[in-house]
Amino acid sequence: MGPGELTARGGTAEYQRDRRRLVEHLRTRGVRDLGLLHAFDTVPRHLFVPEVLRGRAYEDIPLPIGAGQTISSPTIHALSIECAGVRAGQRVLEVGTGAGFQTALLATLGAEVYSIERVASLHEGAARALARVGVEAHLMLGDGSLGWPERAPFHAIIVGAATARPPAALLEQLAEGGRMIVPVGGRRQELYRYTRRGEDISHEKLTRVRFVPLIEETRRGGGRGRGR
Ligand code: SAM
């Protein structure tokens, strides 16, 4: 391998330094979960953003990923995953795969990840990026607001796009004690956590956010895929 070339997983020394700085930054923002910090230290975010933006991959900012969509900022990913209480061995549903970076964080934490994306080019790009970094996840092309009933219930559901109200199908697919993180609102949005206890579902407001809208369709899109 020549100087400056990327390895499949770790990247160049420069990217590794940037990644370490990002982890320190997340610590200062209050992220305490060691497994999650390790996942940020391990997953090469630069391989999930367009090549021209790789130099900015380890800044704590959202970045465009094509099709008018964005990869959320590392702080938002950390907050969502921590507040969902994701642990190794849990079954997690992600709505809005996007570039697949959060998918990779969840899988690196040891979760069994199911992720749905409605834009075919992003679904395919995420499958390629996940295969490149050697992360396994179950990917589907389609409308994530319907959830993945065949694989339910889920210990955690993380929705990456904003909705006027949390989709009923997703709340139904939460396991006992399961938590769903979802941005709710239009121009003004708040991140919410919904928690199932028996037939009761409680909710709490976490913080103000800004996400792209969740596009709900009436039927599923094309086929299923599997990241390797
Ligand atoms: N989860 C990724 C992340 O955190 O970086 C992507 C977040 S991006 C802000 C939101 C993604 O949700 C986009 O890729 C968009 O295409 C997708 N999306 C919007 N509505 C959807 C739906 N109904 N089903 C599945 N994906 C959807």
Q: What's the CA gap between 225 and 139, in Å, rounded?
A: 5
Backbone angles phi, psi at 140, to 5 degrees: -135, 140
User: Atom 18 in ligand 1: which residue has the minimum CA distance?
Assistant: 96
User: From the CA of 99, how far away is ligand 1's center (Å)?
Assistant: 9
Question: Does the annotation mark 73 as catalytic?
Answer: no
Tell which atom from ligand 1 comes closest to the C-alpha of 67. Answer: 16
| 212-228 per-position pLDDT tens digit | 999 997 544 444 444 33
Tell which atom from ligand 1 comes closest to the C-alpha of 65. Answer: 14
Q: Taking 90 as the threshold, does the pLDDT of residue 4 lie above it?
A: no
Its pTM stands at 0.92
User: Atom 9 in ligand 1: which residue has the minimum CA distance?
Assistant: 70
Residue 8 has what pLDDT?
43
| 78-109 per-position pLDDT tens digit | 999 999 999 999 999 999 999 999 999 999 99
User: Atom 5 in ligand 1: which residue has the minimum CA distance?
Assistant: 71
CA angle in degrees (0–180, nearest 5) for 161-186-31: 50
User: From the CA of 217, how far away is ligand 1's center (Å)?
Assistant: 13
Q: Is 119 near ligand 1, meaning CB less than 6 Å away?
A: yes
Residue 11 has what pLDDT?
52
CATH architecture assigned to 3-225: 3-Layer(aba) Sandwich (3.40)
Residue 209 or 14, more confident: 209
Every domain of the chain and the residues it spans: 3-225
Q: What's the CA gap between 190 and 207, in Å, rounded?
A: 6
CA angle in degrees (0–180, nearest 5) for 109-70-218: 90
| 129-184 per-position pLDDT tens digit | 999 999 999 999 999 999 999 999 999 999 999 999 999 999 999 999 999 999 99
| 10-26 per-position pLDDT tens digit | 457 889 999 999 999 99
CA distances from 6 to 12, 36, 38, 54, 60 (A): 6, 23, 20, 12, 22
